[in-house]
A and B are shown apart, each in its own frame.
Chain A
Amino acid sequence: MEITFNLPGLETIEQRTIPLDSSVIYDVIIIGGGPAALTAAVYCMRKGVKTGLITLDVGGQVAETSVVENYMGYNHIEGISLVQRFKEQVEQFEIGFLQGYKAIQLQDGTIKKVTCEDGNTYMAKAVIITTGKRWRRLNVPGESELTGKGVAYCAICDAPLFKDKDVMVVGGGNSAVEAAIDLAKLATSVTVVQLLPHLTADKVLQDELSKFNNVTIVYQHQLKAIHGTNSVEAVTLFDSRSQKERTLNVQGIFIEIGLVPNTELVKDVVALNHNGEIIIDCNCRTSRPGIFAAGDVTSVPYKQIIIAAGEGAKAALSACEYVLLKK
Chain B
Amino acid sequence: MPLFDEKVKTQLVQLLSKLTNPITLHFFSQEIECPTCQTTHQFVEEIASLSDKISLHTYDLVKDSDIAKAFNIDKIPAIVVSDSKNTLKGVRFFGIPAGYEINSFIGACLEVSGAKEPLPQPIIDRIKKIAKPIHIQVFVTLT
Contacts and interface: CB of A to CB of B under 8 A. Distances in A.
Query: What 4 A-B pairs have minimum CB-CB distances, sorted nearest first?
Result: A100-B120, A10-B11, A5-B102, A3-B98
Contacts of B103: 6-9
Interface residues of B, number: 20
Given A1-B35, A1-B39, A7 B120 contact: no
Contact of B99 (A4, A11, A100, A101): A4
A10 B99 contact: no
Contacts of A3: 3, 39, 96, 98
Contacts of A7: 8, 11-12, 15, 102-103, 106
Interface of A is mostly: loop
Contact of A5 (B4, B14, B120, B121): B4
Nearest to B102: A5
A118 interface: yes
Interface in B1-55: 3-4, 8, 11-12, 14-15, 35, 39
B134 interface: no
A281 interface: no
Interface residues of A, number: 15
Given A5-B4, A5-B102, A118 B11 contact: no
Interface string A1-26: 10111111111000000000000000
Given A118-B120, A118-B121, A5 B15 contact: no
A291 to B, nearest CB: 26
Nearest to B123: A100
A268 interface: no
A80 to B, nearest CB: 10
Interface of B is mostly: helix
Contacts of A99: 120
A245 interface: no
A10 B7 CA distance: 10
B116 to A, nearest CB: 14
B122 interface: yes
Interface in B48-100: 96, 98-100
Contacts of B11: 7, 10-11
A264 interface: no
Contacts of A117: 122
A101 B125 CA distance: 13
Contacts of A4: 98-99
Contacts of A6: 99-100, 102-103
Interface centre among A1, A6, A8 (most CB of B within 10 A): A6
Given A7-B102, A100-B120, A101-B122, 8 more contacts: A1-B35, A1-B39, A3-B98, A5-B98, A6-B100, A6-B103, A7-B12, A10-B11
